[in-house]
Amino acid sequence: MKVLVTGGTGYIGSHTAVELLRAGYDVEVLDNLVNSKESTLDNIEKITHIKPKFYKVDLRNYDETLRVFAETNFDAVIHFAGLKAVGESVEKPLEYYENNIGGTINLLRVMDETRVGKLIFSSSATVYGDQGAKAYDEKMTTGVKITNPYGWTKAMIEQIIRDYAKANPEFSATILRYFNPIGADKSGLLGEDPNGIPNNLLPIITKVYRGELSELTIFGDDYPTDDGSCKRDFIHVTDLALGHLAALEKMHPGVRTYNLGSGVATSVFEVVKMFNEETGEELPIKIGKRRAGDLAEFYANPSLAEKELEWKTKLTVRDAIKDTLNYLKNLE
């Protein structure tokens, strides 16, 4: 089976490409390299002994995208390519809408033109917004109180996919809503290495650990949780990647949507504590104000994916921290 992975040199895309190759799929990668490096393909090769064919293409370029599909008859596309920095999306909304939505529309147009009928889309649990719940399931409404354009692009793309599928009964799609991906491939050769100042907890922790940032600010210790810090459903990126394989193997006509999360919430303080236990050092922290838009507790009800995809997480937050530290060793 020939699979095109858009955004395949990025964090989640590269881990998924590795798992697809390990499972024997024929993988090709498309990426515009705006937030990733071509050398990631060498690391994919080191792990799997296969170097996927690579296209440096921006999905907003219809003709170049069509050329990719003219070269190979893909059976399916896994679509990760997109901008993902929440804060930046607030400052540059048009860039986010143009990139994420424009790119996806072109991709669908090209898939339509070349009759490629299977799509897996990288969505986010952020589409649920704030509904005053703790555990979120797929039946809940989306597009409620989303606080940033990045989140809106995910909710809007989901709708575009559903509408396109309605008009094209031979097309099928699986939408995967990720909770908080962390960690790195066991090999230490792939991981999360964002340009500039990162937005998410684990990449910030690793920058502090390496001395690139002076301290971690905990955004609030007065939430109504056991220890006062926020709780999140952290999912190891390898488990997440395997969720895409399960989705690919179990595609059905029409559109299906699944949460990919562990169902377990871990607090920010707990993450820091585990990180310190693994490094044997004390991460410098300070308690700051609550961050706007943060929810006290947010985790997946992952039972639908477990039932229909026969997938569930196997790795823990501690595994993810260990694998992240192993990856950092290789960056030095």
- Which residues participate in catalysis according to the annotation? 150
Give the footprint of ligand UD1 on this chain (CB under 6 A): 86, 124, 126, 147, 151, 180-181, 199-201, 204, 216-219, 230, 232, 268, 291, 293-294
- Using only C-alpha atoms, the chain has a radius of gyration, in whole angstroms, of 19
Q: Which amino acid is at 47?
A: I
Tell me how far, at minimum, the Cβ of 229 lies from ligand UD1, in Å: 7
Burial of 196 (0-12, 13-18, 19+ CB in 10 A): exposed
State in angstroms the smallest separation of the CB of 294 from ligand UD1.
5
Alpha carbon 64 to its chain centroid, in Å, reads 25
Chain residue at closest Cβ approach to ligand UD1: 230
Q: Least distance from C-beta 86 to ligand UD1, angstroms?
A: 4
Minimum distance, C-beta of residue 61 to ligand UD1, in the bound complex (Å): 26
Distance CA 90, CA 195 (A): 18
Task: Extract the tokens encoding 18.
Answer: 């590795």
* Contact criterion met (CB below 8 Å) for 309 and 247: yes
For ligand UD1, the closer CB: 171 or 298: 298
59, two tokens: 């999905």
Q: Report how far residue 69's alpha carbon sits from residue 273's, in angstroms, rounded to the nearest whole number.
A: 48
Looking at the Cβ atoms of 57 and 125, the one nearer to ligand UD1 is 125
**Positions of E strands within 76-129:** 76-79, 118-124
Query: How far apart are CB 216 and ligand UD1 at their closest, in Å?
Result: 6
- Nearest distance from C-beta of residue 218 to ligand UD1, angstroms: 4
Whichever of 16 and 124 has its CB closer to ligand UD1, that residue is: 124
* Cα 68 from chain centroid (whole Å): 23
How far apart (Å, rounded) are the C-alpha atoms in residues 249 and 258? 14
Token pair of 63 as six digits: 């003709």
Residues 107 and 42: their CA atoms lie apart, in Å, by 26
Alpha carbon distances (Å) from 14 to 6, 48, 80, 237:
10, 12, 10, 10
In contact, 179 and 299? CB cutoff 8 Å? yes
Nearer to ligand UD1 by C-beta: 149 or 188?
149
Residue nearer to ligand UD1 on the CB measure, 83 or 201: 201
Q: Which is nearer to ligand UD1, 181 or 243 (CB)?
A: 181
DSSP per residue over 136-205, as a string? E-TTS-SSSS--SHHHHHHHHHHHHHHHHHHH-TT-EEEEEEE-EEE---TTSS-----SSS--SHHHHH
